[in-house]
Amino acid sequence: MSKVSQYSEVGTMRDGRRFEIRALRPEDRDNLIAAVGRIGTDSLYRRFFAVKREFSEKETAFFVNVDFVNHVALIAVVEEDGKPTIVGGGRFIVVSPGQAEVAFAVVDKYQGQGLGTALTRHLVAIARRAGLRELIADVLPDNRQMLNVFRKSGLPVSTRRDAGSLHVTLRLI
């Protein structure tokens, strides 16, 4: 395991509430599944291009057991009712040398609070340290929030229309 597996930074949402961006750990499994259950139907569709509420054990293991080299996953955690609760997450998976696919999801009630921007910033920093040159994502054309997060990232962004989606490339170098 690398130091990325110990990653943790604290931030403040637009409404003043505190959050932590940290590395996903295997013991976060139930909290992660609960977070997916709290994401609205439209948001799930924008993330998975389908409304997917249940995952097989194999899919769950894939999402939770990351190596922090070729698969990096960060979560956004807030305190709700006195306990840490996952309200968002982002990850990248290396798909070819120097290039990784990136994806995000934020519980609807926390959208618009800067969590997607924070997750992007942290994943970009980790990707750069890992020597990646670009992050790619397939985004539905109506997913304005995600497209805005990419545009506001400060990185050169290119977009190409594919069948039914936009292929976005963020240049890291």
Global pTM reads: 0.92
Residue 59, pLDDT score: 83
Record the tokens describing residue 75, joined without a space.
């979560």
**39 backbone dihedrals φ, ψ, rounded to 5°:** -85, 135
Place of tokens 């304005």: 144
Q: What's the pLDDT at 50?
A: 66
- When pLDDT is averaged across residues 150-157 and rounded to a whole number, the result is 94
Task: Look at residue 18 and tell me whether its pLDDT is greater than 60.
Answer: yes
Q: How confident is the model at residue 42 (pLDDT cuts 50, 70, 90)?
A: confident
Domain extent at residue 163: 3-171
Q: Mean pLDDT for the chain?
A: 91
Tokens of 140: 């539905």
pLDDT for 80 equals: 94
Percent of the chain with pLDDT over 70: 95
131: left (phi over 0), alpha (psi -120 to 50) or beta: left
- What's the rounded mean pLDDT across residues 8-25? 96
Domain count, the chain: 1
Summarised one tens digit per residue, pLDDT across range 71-121 is 999 999 999 999 999 999 999 999 999 999 999 999 999 999 999 999 999
Which CATH number do you get for residue 16? 3.40.630.30
1 pLDDT band, cuts 50/70/90, is very low
For helices 29-38 and 57-64, give the axis angle rounded to 10 degrees. Answer: 110
* Three-point CA angle 43, 115, 113, nearest 5°: 85
